[in-house]
Amino acid sequence: MSESLFDQLGGEAAVDAAVDIFYRKVLADTTINRFFDNTNMEEQAGKQKAFLTMAFGGPNNYNGTDMRQAHAKFVKMGLDDSHFDAVAGHLADTLKELDVPQDLIDQVGVIAESTRNDVLGR
């Protein structure tokens, strides 16, 4: 049996390493950081961990409806494809910084892409 994507990436330890880099990129990006305003930073960092675990193909309890609900208020604020692409870009850049092999980065990209319509409420 081949190792899962999550395990190949390094499991929870990889998520911990990635969350700091990823979250800093998101907060510093003025095209999307307004969606991350006015929230509790510690909680938000926790949610970014949930996001990364999911994108890494790890164990999570989210389904499509949850993704719709979690992002519904941001869709109302104008969340669209450009923002989605920006987040997906930060995700790939984070993994590059961590020297993750390109074929694994591509697989993460596919998982993220599969949530696009739910995240954007379509």
Partner 1 sequence: MAEHRIQLGEQLISCKTDETLLNALLRENVNISYGCQQGVCQSCMMRSLDSPPPSESQHGLTDKLKEQSYFLACRCYPQQAMRIGYRDHTDFVTYGTVSVKQNLNAETILLTLDIDNPFEYYAGQFVNLQRDDGLVRSYSIANNSINRKQLSFHIRRLAGGRFTEWAHEELKLGDRLSVSEPQGLCYYQSGKSEQPLLLIGTGSGLAPLAGIISEALHQGHQGEIHLYHGSRDINGLYWVEEMQQLADTHENFHYSPCVSQGEPASSMLAGRANDLAFKTLSDLKGWRVFLCGHPDMVNNSKRQAYLNGVSLADIYADAFHVASGSLD
Residues that bind partner 1 (CB under 8 A): 20, 23-24, 27-28, 38, 40-43, 45
Question: Any idea of the CA torsion for 110, 84, 27, 91, to the nearest 10 degrees?
Answer: 10
Closest among 98, 75, 106, 77 to 15, alpha carbons compared:
98
Report which DSSP code applies to 38: S
Stretch that binds ligand HEM, among 4-12, 13-21, 76-84, 98-106 (CB under 6 A): 76-84
Shortest CB 45 distance to partner 1, Å: 6
Contact of 94 with 37, CB cutoff 8 Å: no
CA distance 56 to 122: 23
Task: List the single partner that 6 binds among ligand HEM, partner 1, none, CB under 5 to 8 Å by kind.
Answer: none
Which of 9, 18, 19, 32 lies at the binding interface for ligand HEM (CB under 6 A)? Answer: 32
Shortest CB 27 distance to partner 1, Å: 6
Contact of 31 with 73, CB cutoff 8 Å: no
What residues between 2 and 21 interact with ligand HEM by CB under 6 A?
none
Shortest CB 87 distance to ligand HEM, Å: 4
CA distance 77 to 58: 29
Residue 52 as a binder of ligand HEM (CB under 6 A): the answer is no
Task: List the single partner that 104 binds among partner 1, ligand HEM, none, CB under 5 to 8 Å by kind.
Answer: none
